[in-house]
Amino acid sequence: MEEAQLKILFKTLDDVRHQNGIEYWYLKELFPCLGYGTLQDFMIVVEDAKQACQNSGGVINTHFQKVDRKIGEEYVEDIKLTRYAAYLIAINGDPKKQEIAFAQAYFVTQTRKMEELQQHLLDFQRLDAREKLKVTEKEFSDMVFTRGVDGQGIAKIRHRGDQELFGQSKTTSIKKFLNVPANRAVADVLPTVTLKAKDLAAAMTIENSRQKNLYGLVPIGTEHVKNNISVRGALVQSGINPENLPTAEDIKAVESRHRKQRKELERKQRKELDKVAQLKSLDETL
């Protein structure tokens, strides 16, 4: 298919796309864009798509919703299609049709873009949780140190807290249990929910140590163990067992990827600004 045709088809699919919080298409607007001359022929594809939806565990009435929509002064029967429904229709269409081949690429590409955006947001949430934990742990160390506990003691308190959070025995190495490299911090490979759990437990220990005026390794250590047990209890009650969650991508790799993405975005922005400056200069010359 020629590039000009691709651009026309891309624009056409976008033109018949509707948005109201979510994207959707109307079946009677979509079928001419996919190379079908009659609605009767197209409905065979739609039925195959419905079956595929059901086989994948989807709810047909959710993705293929019958509606009466107003066109001019009249109401016509139509089917409101979710992005997933439109994607299934494209997948089940006649691959010999150029329009179907393009629609398949269109929906797959758009779906990947959405997946990439979702992953970017998840990465950002994890980076934010890790940074907040660093701040809390710094405050935790400073507080404990001023209350008569040395560096070795602080490490012991933290380790005992982690053991309780992960439901491990006193002799268990958390790094070994989670397969964390010796040169990496445990928190660098924890998922977001566990990072937030550690942050909450540490913040509780800081607050309670101050309110109760706790001093020394044993009192503060006991408080930290108690708080981690409480946080773990809340997680387990909601069906989350920290020790069963898979380790996440090393936070350093996530940070590196985001730096590259940020630099690429800045590069594109500079390129666009240069174009604007060149056009402005040309206008002034003319």
Nearest to 176 by CA among 196, 159, 153: 159
| Residue 88: pLDDT over 50 | yes
**Rounded to whole angstroms, how far apart are CA atoms 241 and 187?**
16
pLDDT at residue 3, as a whole number = 47
Look at residue 255 in the predicted model and tell me its pLDDT: 87
With vertex at residue 187, the alpha carbon angle to CA 262 and CA 127, rounded to the nearest 5 degrees, is: 20
Of all residues in the chain, what percent carry a pLDDT higher than 90?
48
Residues near 151 by beta carbon (within 8 Å), at least 6 away in sequence:
145
Is the dihedral angle over the CA atoms 94, 96, 102, 105 positive or is it negative?
positive
Higher pLDDT, 139 or 180: 139
Q: Name the pLDDT band for 1 (thresholds 50, 70, 90).
A: very low
pLDDT band at 177 (very low <50, low <70, confident <90, very high): confident
Mean pLDDT of 201-223: 97
Residue 117 has pLDDT above 90, yes or no: no
Q: Tell me, what's the pLDDT at 280?
A: 54
DSSP-assigned letter for residue 17: E
Mean pLDDT in the chain?
85
Residue with tokens 């666009």, as numbered in its chain? 272
* CA of residue 151 relative to chain centroid, distance: 37
Q: Which two tokens stand for residue 185?
A: 């911090």
Say what the pLDDT of residue 11 is. 60
Give the residue among 38, 45, 84 at the shortest CA–CA distance from 64: 84
Model pLDDT, residue 278: 64
Point out the least confidently predicted range of 20-34, 63-77, 246-260, 267-281: 267-281
Q: What is the mean pLDDT of residues 155-159?
A: 94
Tens of pLDDT, residue by residue over 240-280, are 999 989 889 999 998 888 788 767 756 765 665 666 566 55
pLDDT at 268: 61
Q: Scanning the structure block, which residue is given the tokens 């387990």?
A: 236
CB 36 within 8 A of CB 42: yes
Tell me how many degrees the CA angle 189-190-195 measures, rounded to the nearest 5: 135
Q: Where are the alpha helices (DSSP H) in 146-180?
A: 151-165, 174-178
CB proximity list for 232: less than 8 A, separation 6 or greater: 164, 165, 166, 167, 197, 242
24, 18 Cβ separation under 8 angstroms: yes
Q: Which residues face 74 on adjacent strands?
A: 71
- Residues 6 or more apart whose CB falls under 8 angstroms from that of 250 comprise 184, 188, 189
